[in-house]
Amino acid sequence: MPSIDMPLEKLREYQPPLYREPDFEEFWRTTMAEAAKQPLNAELIPYDLPARGLQCYAVRFDGYQGGRIAGWYLRPDASGKFPGVCSYHGYSGRAVRPLDLVGLASQGICVLSMDCRGQNGQSQNAAVYPEGYAIGWMTQGIRDPKRYYYRYVYADAVRALELLARRDEVDDKRLAITGVSQGGGITLAVAALSERPILALPDIPFLCDFRRGVSIAPAGPYPEIPVFIKSFPDQYEQTFRTLSYCDALNLAPWIKCRTVISNCLWDDICPPSTIFGVYNHLTCEKQIEIYPFHKHEVPYEHNELKFRVMIETLTGSAPSPRARA
């Protein structure tokens, strides 16, 4: 079994220790309480998409502690209560756009996608970082856990799921969350920080096991962290202290919903060991799908598997099996 990382048998055993700060639980309890108390001030703006049987909207809501968060929302053009899916995107990308949400929405599912603040979409990043950081988002606010970029993003993402759950046409007992890479890491965080989802589908997740990711990943966002530390060597300890609050490794034991993860053994952006490190700390119903020759990508076969799991879990009916081409 090829890999740029450990042999597969070692990956299956890899379970690095948690490295939570003493106030880890209080940090997130306080953050989530503040996020829940803050009004969403949601706005749904009709968008003309000629998709039969569906309604489409551009979404805006207040981000955690400021700014407006953008996204898209598709729902069946019918009355009743429908299951919902919230989708999060990859690093430096933007929310999944309407045409790419049609497939799920056409199955009788309400689908909402979210732009991460300040990235390549339309969400505003209202946080101010008076001191320097490496190019990108990984080290914005890294000197203080309460100012760290991903604290805001995780809170925004929980608020997006809350917006979906509160819609009149949505059955808040049938909610799933999903995303690829950064979106996969956010999916894991939301699964840990919210009791709403019954299913989490993180693909090749980023934001996992930061200490190992920074040590071995030659490409992608993890190298932004050593770039910062090279400029500020005195910030080494504080950098990893801040990262510890947003590491999916430390959040993993809080995940209670069914979780299905994809992991590609030639992935040099999100190395497979970082994902196994998180997976091996999950105590929920869980499943990991391994793709030995894929890099940082989601194979068609896994997308089909996710679709089947989602339909079965959220609607109670599995699509008929098809012969593989």
Count Cβ atoms below 10 Å from residue 230 Cβ, excluding itself: 9
172 catalytic? Reply is no
* Residues 173 and 130 sit within 8 Å (Cβ to Cβ): no
Helical H runs in 173-235?
182-193, 210-216, 224-231
Task: Identify the active-site residue in 3, 113, 181, 194.
Answer: 181
181 catalytic? Reply is yes
Rg (CA), the chain: 19
Q: What are the tokens at 45?
A: 């703006």
Amino acid identity, residue 55? Answer: Q
296 catalytic? Reply is yes
Task: Identify the active-site residue in 89, 281, 294, 296.
Answer: 296
Q: Give burial (CB, 10 Å; 0-12/13-18/19+) of 58.
A: middle
Amino acid identity, residue 179? Answer: G
Task: Identify the active-site residue in 262, 267, 281, 302.
Answer: 267
Cβ partners under 8 Å of residue 185, min gap 6: 179, 202, 205, 206, 207, 208, 248
* Residues 244 and 188 sit within 8 Å (Cβ to Cβ): no
> Cα(111)–Cα(91) distance, rounded to whole angstroms?
20
Strand order across the 258-264 sheet: 43-46, 54-62, 68-76, 110-114, 82-88, 170-180, 199-203, 258-264, 286-291
Q: What residues are annotated to the active site?
A: 181, 267, 296
